[in-house]
Amino acid sequence: MNESERTRLNRGIYLLAAHPAWRDSRVNRRLIAAAREVRGVDVQDLYAAYPDFDIDVAEEQARAEAARMIVLLHPIQWYSMPALQKLWFDEVLALGWAYGVGGHALKGKDLWLVATTGGPETSYHPQGYNRYFFDAFLPPYEQTAALCGMRFVPPLLLHGAHAAPEEAVVAHLETFRQRLSSHPQWPELADLDDCPTCDVPSTDRPADRPAGVPLPLPLQTR
């Protein structure tokens, strides 16, 4: 590994930006540009880096392991993350590396979701067309963090990104920059509970198994 690679891997924050159509983005493209201006932030544009969806797992694990916080920057699509971000989870957060027996590479790090929605905040309500408060869609992120021994910190959200007033977008960008620059000196982090322990027995996720023998549910697919 050369000196420039060591410098990159020693940065404190690894930001994964996932947007399948940056030209159509009003807010996320400005967020990724802002992140690139903050010292100590290693920015990865997933759709630019892996247009064929062929993720370099070893590279991604090295960058994630070197960081103290991983940031997920993306629009909410169908109440979840874009497809390539999900594939990153599927392939990079491997058994024995991110979780399970011997899987401690991400333990003690922070996971921060920075997301935008198309619908306004009022749509995320039992009487709105999305039927649930937005918090109802966060458990998959929270549990992914917990299983990897990470702390899921309060997300930064901008609802109604398509129609948000420009002054609201500018204020959101400034908050984002400030948060990136000041982590981990966020006052609210002192009040967060420790990440719950989620030990996965080797009998539930055996690293090696005879061909044709399925893994037990609920963590069946690899």
- 40 falls within a domain: yes
- 142 falls within a domain: yes
The total domain count for the chain is 1
pTM of the predicted structure, to 2 decimals:
0.87
Residue 57 belongs to domain spanning:
3-191
- 198 falls within a domain: no
Candidates 74, 83, 80; CA nearest to 116 is 74
- 137 falls within a domain: yes
Using alpha carbons only, give the angle 67, 175, 20 rounded to the nearest 5 degrees: 65
At 22, which CATH number? 3.40.50.360
Query: What does the pLDDT profile of the chain (222 residues) look like in tens digits?
Result: 444 444 444 459 999 999 999 888 999 999 999 999 999 999 999 999 999 999 999 999 999 999 999 999 999 999 999 999 999 999 999 999 999 999 999 999 999 999 999 999 999 999 999 999 999 999 999 999 999 999 999 999 999 999 999 999 999 999 999 999 999 999 989 888 887 788 888 888 766 544 444 445 444 444
67 exposure class (CB count in 10 Å sphere: 0-12, 13-18, 19+): buried
Residue 80 · residue 140 · CB < 8 Å: yes
Q: From CA 13, how far away is CA 159, in angstroms rounded?
A: 24
Q: From CA 181, how far away is CA 113, in angstroms rounded?
A: 16
